[in-house]
Amino acid sequence: MEDLIIFGGFAFFGGSVLHIIARNHEREARILKSVTRVNRLNDLAQLLDAERLPLVVTISGKVASENPINCEITGLKSVIVEERVNKLYLKKKEEEKCKCAIKQKEKCKRATKPQKTCNDADYWTLHSEPSDSWTLHSKSISCNTKEVPWYLDDGTDHVHVVGARGATDFGYTAVRSKFDESGQTLVCGTLDSLRDKKILGLKRTERVLPVGAFLTVVGEVI
């Protein structure tokens, strides 16, 4: 048996979430009143013979797929993967920026040798102090989602699932990030400082629904 579950705009993970749905979504609460709990997936075929469609059911099982995605950051095999890339950078506070400009001007005036000038290295050092004169910022670079055909398996049978990402309260069960330093040179750092900004690097985050995760869903059988 390979029945297909269509999420009717809602899903829940765990017993307590059912109350959250009923409290926040009146329409979904009415639908949930008619939900039939299927304890064993191999009972679904018999239920379909006795009931009229559309039939809304609650089923549980472990996530599985014939062709799972090999995730780079989490190291897991997954059926849904969301990959986000954010650029992290430091931005100078306005008041500290003014103070640095004044200090730099005074430093140049105190130069005793005629050939002494304020070079980029001096500017870089000055702008690197103190650390609390900068604030951390993040800018989204990209966000991509991959999904492969997958199903729930409870050991008695399996049911294919589609439309999970559009379901209410859908959530990824595993999240992991890694940071890639920018590898910028002193010159690049100096140019960033002249723009009152220091590029730190890229933060890459994977949010996944892994194979083997236990899931409880509500959906319409078609």
Residues 169-204 have pLDDT tens digits of: 778 888 999 998 865 544 444 445 556 788 888 999
| CA-based end-to-end distance of the chain | 13
Out of 12-26, 115-129, 170-184, 200-214, the most confident range is 200-214
Name the domain count of the chain.
1
User: Are the C-beta atoms of residues 135 and 93 closer than 8 Å to each other?
Assistant: yes
The amino acid occupying position 186 is L
In the numeric block, the tokens 């993967």 are attached to 81
The burial of 46, by beta-carbon neighbours within 10 Å (0-12 exposed, 13-18 middle, 19 or more buried), is given as: exposed
Is the confidence at residue 117, as pLDDT, over 80? no
pLDDT of residue 195: 65
H/E run at residue 190: helix 186-194
pLDDT, mean of residues 115-121 = 42
Q: Which domain holds residue 144?
A: 4-221
Beta-carbon contacts of 184 under 8 Å, excluding residues fewer than 6 positions away, are 192, 199
pLDDT, mean of residues 78-98 = 82
Query: What's the mean per-residue pLDDT of the chain?
Result: 72
Instruction: Enumerate the β-bridge partners of residue 86.
Output: 140, 203
Mapped onto helix, strand or coil, the DSSP state of residue 75 is: coil
User: Are the C-beta atoms of residues 106 and 116 closer than 8 Å to each other?
Assistant: no
pLDDT of residue 217: 83
Is the confidence at residue 100, as pLDDT, over 70? no
- Sequence length of the chain is 222
Tokens standing for residue 191: 């140019």
pLDDT, mean of residues 106-110 = 55
How far apart are alpha carbons 15 and 38 in whole angstroms? 15
Looking at per-residue pLDDT, the higher value among 27 and 71 belongs to 71
User: Are the C-beta atoms of residues 199 and 87 closer than 8 Å to each other?
Assistant: yes
Count of C-beta atoms within a 10 Å radius of residue 126: 16
Burial of 165-200, coded b for 16+ CB within 10 Å and e otherwise, reads eebbebebbbeeeeeeebeeeeeebbebbeebebbb
pLDDT of residue 199: 84
pTM recorded for the entire structure: 0.67
Looking at per-residue pLDDT, the higher value among 207 and 107 belongs to 207
How far apart are alpha carbons 41 and 215 in whole angstroms? 13
DSSP state letter for 100:
H
How far apart are alpha carbons 130 and 37 in whole angstroms? 61
- What values do phi and psi take at 85, rounded to 5? -125, 125
At 29, the pLDDT band (50, 70, 90 cuts) reads: low
